[in-house]
Copies of this chain bind each other. A is one copy, B any other.
Protein backbone atom coordinates (compact mmCIF):
# COMPACT_ATOMS: atom_id res chain seq x y z
CA UNK A 1 0.00 0.00 0.00
CA UNK A 2 2.56 2.57 -1.18
CA UNK A 3 0.79 5.83 -1.87
CA UNK A 4 3.56 8.19 -0.71
CA UNK A 5 4.67 9.25 -4.14
CA UNK A 6 4.91 8.06 -7.70
CA UNK A 7 8.66 8.02 -7.16
CA UNK A 8 8.36 5.11 -4.72
CA UNK A 9 7.52 2.88 -7.68
CA UNK A 10 10.13 1.09 -9.68
CA UNK A 11 10.63 1.32 -13.40
CA UNK A 12 8.41 -0.31 -15.96
CA UNK A 13 9.75 -3.59 -17.39
CA UNK A 14 10.15 -2.03 -20.82
CA UNK A 15 12.49 0.58 -19.33
CA UNK A 16 14.69 -1.97 -17.62
CA UNK A 17 14.77 -4.07 -20.77
CA UNK A 18 15.86 -1.09 -22.81
CA UNK A 19 18.64 -0.24 -20.40
CA UNK A 20 19.84 -3.82 -20.52
CA UNK A 21 19.82 -3.78 -24.32
CA UNK A 22 21.68 -0.48 -24.42
CA UNK A 23 24.41 -1.96 -22.31
CA UNK A 24 25.86 -4.00 -25.16
CA UNK A 25 29.17 -2.93 -26.59
CA UNK A 26 30.75 0.48 -26.83
CA UNK A 27 28.95 3.76 -27.35
CA UNK A 28 29.91 7.37 -27.84
CA UNK A 29 29.73 9.23 -24.60
CA UNK A 30 28.33 12.59 -23.44
CA UNK A 31 25.14 12.45 -25.48
CA UNK A 32 26.63 11.52 -28.83
CA UNK A 33 25.20 8.00 -28.62
CA UNK A 34 23.01 6.73 -31.43
CA UNK A 35 20.02 6.25 -29.18
CA UNK A 36 19.94 9.93 -28.31
CA UNK A 37 19.65 10.84 -31.97
CA UNK A 38 16.56 8.64 -32.14
CA UNK A 39 15.14 10.17 -28.97
CA UNK A 40 15.41 13.64 -30.44
CA UNK A 41 13.54 12.49 -33.51
CA UNK A 42 10.88 10.83 -31.39
CA UNK A 43 10.25 13.93 -29.33
CA UNK A 44 10.18 16.22 -32.33
CA UNK A 45 7.61 13.96 -33.89
CA UNK A 46 5.54 13.52 -30.75
CA UNK A 47 5.35 17.27 -30.26
CA UNK A 48 5.05 18.10 -33.94
CA UNK A 49 8.05 20.35 -33.41
CA UNK A 50 10.68 19.55 -36.02
CA UNK A 51 13.07 22.27 -34.83
CA UNK A 52 12.94 21.53 -31.13
CA UNK A 53 16.17 21.00 -29.22
CA UNK A 54 16.01 18.05 -26.83
CA UNK A 55 18.24 17.21 -23.87
CA UNK A 56 18.13 14.61 -21.15
CA UNK A 57 18.92 15.09 -17.49
CA UNK A 58 18.47 12.76 -14.53
CA UNK A 59 16.14 14.71 -12.24
CA UNK A 60 13.17 17.01 -12.44
CA UNK A 61 14.85 19.53 -10.20
CA UNK A 62 17.65 20.13 -12.65
CA UNK A 63 15.36 19.99 -15.67
CA UNK A 64 13.36 22.87 -14.22
CA UNK A 65 16.35 24.79 -12.97
CA UNK A 66 18.27 24.65 -16.22
CA UNK A 67 15.18 25.56 -18.22
CA UNK A 68 14.54 28.59 -16.04
CA UNK A 69 18.19 29.64 -15.98
CA UNK A 70 18.16 30.04 -19.74
CA UNK A 71 15.61 32.80 -19.41
CA UNK A 72 15.98 34.24 -15.93
CA UNK A 73 18.96 36.50 -15.37
CA UNK A 74 20.12 36.83 -11.76
CA UNK A 75 18.31 40.15 -11.33
CA UNK A 76 14.91 38.91 -12.45
CA UNK A 77 11.75 37.26 -11.17
CA UNK A 78 10.19 33.92 -12.09
CA UNK A 79 6.41 33.88 -11.73
CA UNK A 80 4.93 30.67 -10.37
CA UNK A 81 2.29 29.43 -7.98
CA UNK A 82 3.53 29.76 -4.39
CA UNK A 83 3.06 26.01 -3.93
CA UNK A 84 4.97 25.12 -7.10
CA UNK A 85 7.65 22.48 -6.72
CA UNK A 86 10.28 24.96 -7.89
CA UNK A 87 9.26 27.29 -5.07
CA UNK A 88 8.94 24.89 -2.20
CA UNK A 89 10.62 21.56 -2.83
CA UNK A 90 13.92 22.09 -4.57
CA UNK A 91 15.99 23.64 -1.80
CA UNK A 92 16.51 26.73 -3.88
CA UNK A 93 17.81 24.95 -6.98
CA UNK A 94 16.28 27.56 -9.32
CA UNK A 95 18.04 30.26 -7.32
CA UNK A 96 21.27 28.28 -7.59
CA UNK A 97 21.10 27.72 -11.32
CA UNK A 98 19.96 31.27 -12.05
CA UNK A 99 22.54 32.76 -9.68
CA UNK A 100 19.92 34.37 -7.55
CA UNK A 101 16.68 35.09 -9.39
CA UNK A 102 13.55 35.48 -7.26
CA UNK A 103 10.48 33.26 -7.24
CA UNK A 104 7.37 35.45 -7.22
CA UNK A 105 4.22 33.76 -6.01
CA UNK A 106 1.07 34.00 -8.14
CA UNK A 107 -1.70 32.49 -6.13
CA UNK A 108 -4.92 30.75 -7.04
CA UNK A 109 -7.20 28.04 -5.72
CA UNK A 110 -6.39 24.38 -6.17
CA UNK A 111 -2.76 24.99 -7.05
CA UNK A 112 -3.61 26.97 -10.17
CA UNK A 113 -2.60 30.56 -10.88
CA UNK A 114 -5.44 32.78 -11.98
CA UNK A 115 -5.05 35.18 -14.89
CA UNK A 116 -6.04 38.04 -12.61
CA UNK A 117 -3.37 37.26 -10.10
CA UNK A 118 -0.78 36.82 -12.81
CA UNK A 119 -1.62 40.19 -14.31
CA UNK A 120 -1.41 41.82 -10.93
CA UNK A 121 1.95 40.22 -10.16
CA UNK A 122 3.38 41.21 -13.52
CA UNK A 123 2.26 44.76 -12.97
CA UNK A 124 3.70 44.86 -9.49
CA UNK A 125 7.15 43.68 -10.54
CA UNK A 126 9.45 45.42 -12.92
CA UNK A 127 7.85 48.83 -12.69
CA UNK A 128 10.33 50.37 -10.28
CA UNK A 129 13.18 50.78 -12.72
CA UNK A 130 16.59 49.72 -11.57
CA UNK A 131 15.54 49.32 -7.94
CA UNK A 132 13.39 46.24 -8.35
CA UNK A 133 14.05 42.96 -10.06
CA UNK A 134 12.95 42.63 -13.66
CA UNK A 135 10.36 40.23 -15.08
CA UNK A 136 11.81 37.07 -16.61
CA UNK A 137 9.58 34.07 -17.18
CA UNK A 138 6.32 32.37 -16.26
CA UNK A 139 6.47 28.82 -14.92
CA UNK A 140 3.36 26.65 -14.91
CA UNK A 141 3.15 23.16 -13.41
CA UNK A 142 0.85 20.59 -14.94
CA UNK A 143 -0.36 18.34 -13.21
CA UNK A 144 -0.12 20.89 -10.38
CA UNK A 145 1.21 20.26 -6.90
CA UNK A 146 -2.43 20.12 -5.81
CA UNK A 147 -3.09 17.28 -8.24
CA UNK A 148 -5.18 19.48 -10.50
CA UNK A 149 -5.06 20.04 -14.23
CA UNK A 150 -4.65 23.09 -16.40
CA UNK A 151 -6.39 22.69 -19.74
CA UNK A 152 -4.53 23.89 -22.82
CA UNK A 153 -6.89 26.86 -22.93
CA UNK A 154 -6.07 27.77 -19.37
CA UNK A 155 -2.37 27.54 -20.12
CA UNK A 156 -2.81 29.65 -23.22
CA UNK A 157 -4.62 32.31 -21.21
CA UNK A 158 -1.71 32.56 -18.79
CA UNK A 159 1.04 32.50 -21.39
CA UNK A 160 -0.74 35.21 -23.37
CA UNK A 161 -0.65 37.49 -20.36
CA UNK A 162 3.04 36.76 -19.93
CA UNK A 163 3.75 37.22 -23.62
CA UNK A 164 2.10 40.61 -23.55
CA UNK A 165 4.81 41.68 -21.11
CA UNK A 166 7.51 40.05 -23.24
CA UNK A 167 7.87 36.98 -21.07
CA UNK A 168 8.37 33.42 -22.27
CA UNK A 169 6.73 30.49 -20.49
CA UNK A 170 8.02 27.27 -18.97
CA UNK A 171 6.00 24.16 -18.23
CA UNK A 172 7.10 21.95 -15.36
CA UNK A 173 5.86 18.62 -16.67
CA UNK A 174 7.11 16.30 -13.98
CA UNK A 175 3.64 14.74 -14.42
CA UNK A 176 3.15 15.86 -18.00
CA UNK A 177 2.09 12.38 -19.05
CA UNK A 178 -0.63 12.37 -16.42
CA UNK A 179 -1.79 15.76 -17.66
CA UNK A 180 -2.00 14.52 -21.23
CA UNK A 181 -3.83 11.39 -20.15
CA UNK A 182 -6.23 13.42 -18.05
CA UNK A 183 -6.94 16.08 -20.63
CA UNK A 184 -6.98 14.23 -23.90
CA UNK A 185 -4.94 17.06 -25.39
CA UNK A 186 -2.01 16.36 -27.65
CA UNK A 187 1.49 17.18 -26.44
CA UNK A 188 1.63 20.03 -28.94
CA UNK A 189 -1.69 21.44 -27.78
CA UNK A 190 -0.53 21.38 -24.16
CA UNK A 191 2.77 23.09 -24.94
CA UNK A 192 3.87 25.24 -27.82
CA UNK A 193 0.40 25.66 -29.24
CA UNK A 194 -0.57 27.01 -25.82
CA UNK A 195 2.40 29.37 -25.71
CA UNK A 196 4.94 27.22 -23.87
CA UNK A 197 8.55 27.90 -24.88
CA UNK A 198 10.35 25.27 -22.86
CA UNK A 199 9.16 22.06 -21.23
CA UNK A 200 10.43 19.75 -18.53
CA UNK A 201 9.00 16.45 -19.73
CA UNK A 202 9.10 14.02 -16.85
CA UNK A 203 9.91 10.35 -17.07
CA UNK A 204 11.06 9.48 -13.58
CA UNK A 205 7.75 9.61 -11.74
CA UNK A 206 5.97 7.74 -14.53
CA UNK A 207 7.93 4.52 -14.81
CA UNK A 208 11.49 5.48 -15.69
CA UNK A 209 14.50 5.01 -13.45
CA UNK A 210 15.61 8.61 -13.62
CA UNK A 211 15.32 10.69 -16.77
CA UNK A 212 13.65 13.91 -17.82
CA UNK A 213 13.69 15.56 -21.19
CA UNK A 214 14.07 19.29 -21.58
CA UNK A 215 12.32 20.29 -24.79
CA UNK A 216 13.16 23.70 -26.21
CA UNK A 217 10.63 24.68 -28.83
CA UNK A 218 12.92 27.52 -29.80
CA UNK A 219 16.39 25.98 -30.09
CA UNK A 220 18.23 29.31 -29.98
CA UNK A 221 19.56 28.65 -26.51
CA UNK A 222 20.57 25.03 -27.12
CA UNK A 223 24.30 25.58 -26.83
CA UNK A 224 23.91 27.57 -23.65
CA UNK A 225 21.86 24.71 -22.27
CA UNK A 226 24.66 22.29 -23.04
CA UNK A 227 27.20 24.43 -21.24
CA UNK A 228 24.96 24.93 -18.23
CA UNK A 229 24.17 21.21 -18.05
CA UNK A 230 27.85 20.30 -18.12
CA UNK A 231 28.71 22.97 -15.56
CA UNK A 232 26.00 21.60 -13.29
CA UNK A 233 27.57 18.14 -13.43
CA UNK A 234 24.54 16.76 -15.28
CA UNK A 235 26.11 15.68 -18.54
CA UNK A 236 26.34 11.91 -18.27
CA UNK A 237 29.42 10.29 -19.74
CA UNK A 238 27.55 7.01 -20.23
CA UNK A 239 24.62 8.94 -21.57
CA UNK A 240 23.21 5.90 -23.35
CA UNK A 241 21.40 4.85 -20.19
CA UNK A 242 19.42 8.07 -20.12
CA UNK A 243 18.73 7.77 -23.84
CA UNK A 244 17.61 4.17 -23.57
CA UNK A 245 15.10 4.96 -20.87
CA UNK A 246 13.61 7.80 -22.84
CA UNK A 247 13.53 5.85 -26.09
CA UNK A 248 11.59 3.03 -24.48
CA UNK A 249 9.35 5.52 -22.71
CA UNK A 250 8.40 7.08 -26.01
CA UNK A 251 8.05 3.83 -27.94
CA UNK A 252 4.55 2.50 -28.55
CA UNK A 253 3.12 5.22 -26.33
CA UNK A 254 4.49 3.59 -23.20
CA UNK A 255 4.56 6.97 -21.45
CA UNK A 256 0.86 7.46 -22.11
CA UNK A 257 -0.14 3.92 -21.18
CA UNK A 258 1.70 4.16 -17.87
CA UNK A 259 0.12 7.50 -17.06
CA UNK A 260 -3.31 6.26 -18.05
CA UNK A 261 -2.96 3.38 -15.64
CA UNK A 262 -1.85 5.75 -12.85
CA UNK A 263 -4.76 8.05 -13.58
CA UNK A 264 -7.27 5.18 -13.73
CA UNK A 265 -6.12 4.04 -10.31
CA UNK A 266 -6.34 7.65 -9.17
CA UNK A 267 -9.92 7.82 -10.33
CA UNK A 268 -10.79 4.55 -8.59
CA UNK A 269 -9.19 5.82 -5.40
CA UNK A 270 -10.87 9.21 -5.60
CA UNK A 271 -14.23 7.58 -6.05
CA UNK A 272 -13.59 5.32 -3.10
CA UNK A 273 -12.43 8.16 -0.89
CA UNK A 274 -15.48 10.22 -1.75
CA UNK A 275 -17.60 7.35 -0.59
CA UNK A 276 -15.90 7.18 2.80
CA UNK A 277 -17.95 8.57 5.65
CA UNK A 278 -17.00 12.12 6.62
CA UNK A 279 -14.39 12.51 3.89
CA UNK A 280 -13.91 14.87 1.00
CA UNK A 281 -11.26 15.83 -1.49
CA UNK A 282 -9.77 19.28 -1.02
CA UNK A 283 -9.09 19.68 -4.72
CA UNK A 284 -10.40 18.11 -7.91
CA UNK A 285 -8.40 14.96 -8.65
CA UNK A 286 -8.38 14.33 -12.38
CA UNK A 287 -5.05 12.51 -12.44
CA UNK A 288 -3.00 10.49 -9.96
CA UNK A 289 -2.72 12.67 -6.88
CA UNK A 290 -5.36 13.72 -4.37
CA UNK A 291 -5.64 15.48 -1.04
CA UNK A 292 -8.42 14.06 1.12
CA UNK A 293 -9.60 15.55 4.35
CA UNK A 294 -11.33 13.14 6.68
CA UNK A 295 -12.30 12.38 10.21
CA UNK A 296 -9.60 12.67 12.86
CA UNK A 297 -7.94 9.34 13.51
CA UNK A 298 -8.26 8.20 9.92
CA UNK A 299 -4.58 8.67 9.12
CA UNK A 300 -3.43 6.84 12.23
CA UNK A 301 -5.80 3.98 11.63
CA UNK A 302 -4.64 3.51 8.07
CA UNK A 303 -0.99 3.69 9.07
CA UNK A 304 -1.57 1.08 11.72
CA UNK A 305 -2.97 -1.14 9.03
CA UNK A 306 0.10 -0.75 6.87
CA UNK A 307 -0.89 2.05 4.54
CA UNK A 308 1.86 4.40 3.48
CA UNK A 309 1.10 7.99 2.50
CA UNK A 310 1.96 11.48 3.70
CA UNK A 311 -0.17 13.24 6.28
CA UNK A 312 -0.52 16.91 5.48
CA UNK A 313 -1.07 20.02 7.58
CA UNK A 314 -4.76 20.86 7.52
CA UNK A 315 -7.71 22.22 9.37
CA UNK A 316 -7.89 21.85 13.11
CA UNK A 317 -9.70 18.75 14.19
CA UNK A 318 -9.41 17.07 10.82
CA UNK A 319 -6.90 14.71 9.23
CA UNK A 320 -5.49 15.56 5.87
CA UNK A 321 -3.39 13.43 3.54
CA UNK A 322 -1.73 13.23 0.18
CA UNK A 323 -2.31 10.07 -1.85
CA UNK A 324 -0.44 9.36 -5.06
CA UNK A 325 -0.98 6.47 -7.45
CA UNK A 326 1.51 5.40 -10.08
CA UNK A 327 1.86 3.25 -13.18
CA UNK A 328 2.39 0.23 -10.92
CA UNK A 329 -0.60 0.76 -8.67
CA UNK A 330 -3.13 -2.05 -9.02
CA UNK A 331 -6.83 -2.21 -8.33
CA UNK A 332 -6.02 -4.47 -5.43
CA UNK A 333 -3.68 -1.83 -4.01
CA UNK A 334 -6.42 0.77 -4.21
CA UNK A 335 -9.00 -1.46 -2.64
CA UNK A 336 -6.64 -2.43 0.16
CA UNK A 337 -6.03 1.21 0.96
CA UNK A 338 -9.73 1.97 0.98
CA UNK A 339 -10.27 -0.91 3.36
CA UNK A 340 -7.52 0.38 5.62
CA UNK A 341 -9.12 3.82 5.66
CA UNK A 342 -12.58 2.63 6.62
CA UNK A 343 -13.55 2.74 10.27
Contacts and interface: CB of A to CB of B under 8 A. Distances in A.
A221 B7 CA distance: 27
Interface in A1-38: 2, 4-5, 7-11, 16, 19-20, 22-30
A134 interface: yes
Stoichiometry, as copies per complex, reads: 4
A75 B227 contact: yes
Contacts of A283: none
Contact of A132 (B7, B25, B88): B88
Contact of A75 (B5, B10, B101, B228): B228
Contacts of A27: 8, 10
A50 interface: no
* Interface residue range, chain A: 35 or more
B99 A238 contact: no
A10 B29 contact: no
B26 A10 contact: yes
A123 to B, nearest CB: 9
A139 interface: no
Contact of A102 (B9, B16, B103, B236): B103
Nearest to A64: B233
Nearest to A63: B233
B93 A232 contact: yes
A237 interface: yes
Interface of A: 2, 4-5, 7-11, 16, 19-20, 22-30, 57-63, 65, 73-76, 88-93, 95-103, 128, 130-134, 204-205, 209-210, 226-238, 240-241, 308, 328
9 contacts: A5-B29, A62-B234, A75-B92, A90-B233, A91-B130, A91-B131, A99-B99, A130-B230, A204-B237
